């Protein structure tokens, strides 16, 4: 088989049993040692070479004008766009500002676009994230909340992990325990393969501090209700 190693039948069976399960192995994105030893340019070059091999194995004609540049385009997209959140150097800086208005009620930002990638099949996840926090004396610019959501979305993900990573980062940045996250997203690995259910979506939420209290949680959910019904 030209030196190609094929997994044994028992291992393949295990993979298939896990195929449609939502497996979450760790809160942190699993990264190997030395993950950042290569520059982005070196990663793009290596990925392009391997993706060219994948296309060749599939039987595609890489001399065709339409396909010739695809390996490089895919590699560049992986490194600089849809998986750029793997690089901690791309984490958005979020400056704190004193809450001079003394606004001590919840601040809610609704309908933040979520675009991520399922780590099990490398297919898109897309939906909306709703974020709330109560100031502990400091605030951040609204756009920084969007950037934090986007940063953690730009990596292979499981929605549960994505939810908790956003929560923990906002708690750290805001120096406040009072944070809530609600994500409603569709998974292309569900709608375009396997069960092929195009109508379902996945909801995850995480609450910390005052948002663990029923009254505050209900207020948050009531505030985002109109967005959920859209």
Q: Which sequence positions are flagged as catalytic? A: 118-121, 159, 187, 189
User: Which of helix, strand or coil describes residue 22?
Assistant: coil
The DSSP code sequence of 133-188 is EE-SSEE--HHHHHHHHHHHHSSEE-HHHHHHHHHHHHHHHHT-S-EEEEEEEEEH
Strand extents, DSSP E, the chain:
97-98, 106-118, 124-134, 138-139, 156-157, 179-187, 202-207
Residue 111's region, left for phi above 0, alpha for psi from -120 to 50, else beta, is left
CA dist., res. 144 & res. 13, Å (int)? 44
Q: Is 81 exposed, middle or buried (0-12, 13-18, 19+ CB in 10 A)?
A: exposed
Question: How many angstroms separate the CA atoms of 123 and 189, rounded?
Answer: 6
CA dihedral 220, 222, 228, 230 (to 10 degrees): -130
């Amino acid at each position: 088989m030209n030196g190609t190693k094929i997994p044994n039948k028992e291992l393949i069976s295990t993979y298939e049993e896990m195929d449609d399960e939502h497996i979450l192995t760790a809160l942190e994105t699993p990264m190997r040692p030395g993950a950042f030893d290569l520059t982005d340019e070196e990663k793009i070059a290596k990925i392009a070479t391997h993706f060219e091999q994948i296309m060749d194995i599939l039987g595609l004609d890489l001399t065709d004008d339409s396909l010739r540049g695809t390996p490089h385009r895919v590699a560049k997209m992986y490194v600089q766009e849809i998986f750029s959140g793997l690089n901690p150097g791309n984490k958005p800086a979020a400056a704190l500002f004193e809450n001079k208005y003394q606004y001590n009620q919840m601040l809610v930002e609704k309908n933040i676009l979520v675009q991520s990638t399922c780590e099990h099949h490398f297919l898109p996840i897309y939906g909306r994230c709703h974020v709330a926090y109560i100031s502990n004396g400091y605030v951040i610019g609204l756009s920084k909340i969007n950037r934090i959501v986007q940063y953690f979305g730009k990596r292979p993900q499981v929605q549960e992990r994505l939810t908790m990573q956003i929560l923990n980062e906002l708690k750290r940045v805001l120096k406040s325990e009072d944070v809530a996250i609600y994500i409603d997203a569709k998974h292309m690995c569900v709608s375009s393969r396997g069960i092929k259910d195009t109508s379902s979506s996945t909801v995850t939420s995480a609450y910390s501090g005052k948002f663990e209290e029923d009254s505050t949680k209900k207020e948050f959910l009531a505030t985002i209700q109109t967005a959920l019904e859209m």
